[in-house]
Amino acid sequence: MNRRAIGYVGIGSIIFFWLASFVFGALRPSYSHVVNTISELGAVGTPYSVLWNLIGSGVLGVLLAVVGVTIAREAQGTPSVSRTVATLLLAVSGLAVAGQGLMPAEMINGVADVTSASTRAHFVSSLISGAAWIVGALMLVRPMSRNPHWKGLHIVSIVLVVLVVAASIVLQGTFPDGLAQRIGNTFFCLWFVVMSIRLISLRAVPEAA
C-alpha cells in the first residue's frame, strides 16, 4: 500500500478500536468503561474474550505496527541509524499490542492474578508497547522539525508523549482504573490519527528528501 492508503488504515484502525471496545463492553452488562480496564475485555474466561483478543489486540497491533513504520520512514526520508531505530521501536510497539491479545490476563474475582504467567506476560507486553512508542515517537521529533512536510508535528509529538506519560503517572490511583487508562490511550491514539492525516496529505507534495 502507498502512504496515503496506510494513512487511512491508521485512522480507520483507531476508530475501529474504540467502536469495538464500546460494542464488546456493551455485551457485558456489568462492564464499566470508567471502572474496568480495556484488558478485562480479553481476560481469560470472559465472554467473547477470544474474539476481542483477535481483533481488539491482534489485528489492531499489527495495523499500528505497519502505520508506525510508515510514519517513521516518511518523517525522516533519508536512511539513518536513528530512522532505523525509530522504525523498529514503532513496529515493536504495535506488535506488543498484538502480544497482549496472545497473552491475555487472568482475573480472580475481578482482580488481575499476578501469579499467572499469562497475566505477567500481558503486563510486560503493555509496558513494552508504551515504552517503545514513547522512545520511537521522541526519536522522530528532530527529523520532523527538519522536514518541511512534517514541521510543526514535532511539537505535537512532544505534547502527546508528555500527556501519555503524565496520564500514566498522575491519574493512576487518582481516577478509576478504566478512566485513567482510557485518557492515556486517547493521547496515544491521537498521535496515530494526527500522523496518519499527515500521511494522507503528503500525496500532494513531493517525497521528503
Asked whether residue 209 is assigned to any structural domain, the reply reads no
Asked whether residue 160 is assigned to any structural domain, the reply reads yes
Asked whether residue 105 is assigned to any structural domain, the reply reads yes
* Residue-by-residue pLDDT tens, the chain, 209 positions: 799 999 999 999 999 999 999 999 999 888 999 999 999 999 998 899 999 999 999 999 999 999 999 999 999 888 889 899 999 999 999 999 999 999 999 988 778 888 899 999 999 999 999 999 999 999 999 999 999 999 899 999 999 999 999 999 999 888 999 999 999 999 999 999 999 999 999 855 444 43
Cβ atoms 137, 157 nearer than 8 A? yes
Asked whether residue 190 is assigned to any structural domain, the reply reads yes
Q: How many domains does the chain have?
A: 1
pLDDT at residue 203, as a whole number: 59
- pTM to 2 decimals? 0.91
CA dist., res. 54 & res. 18, Å (int): 15
Q: Which domain holds residue 134?
A: 3-204
Asked whether residue 38 is assigned to any structural domain, the reply reads yes
Cα distances (angstroms) measured from residue 162 to each of 101, 119, 170, 191:
26, 27, 11, 12
Asked whether residue 143 is assigned to any structural domain, the reply reads yes
Asked whether residue 20 is assigned to any structural domain, the reply reads yes
Asked whether residue 96 is assigned to any structural domain, the reply reads yes
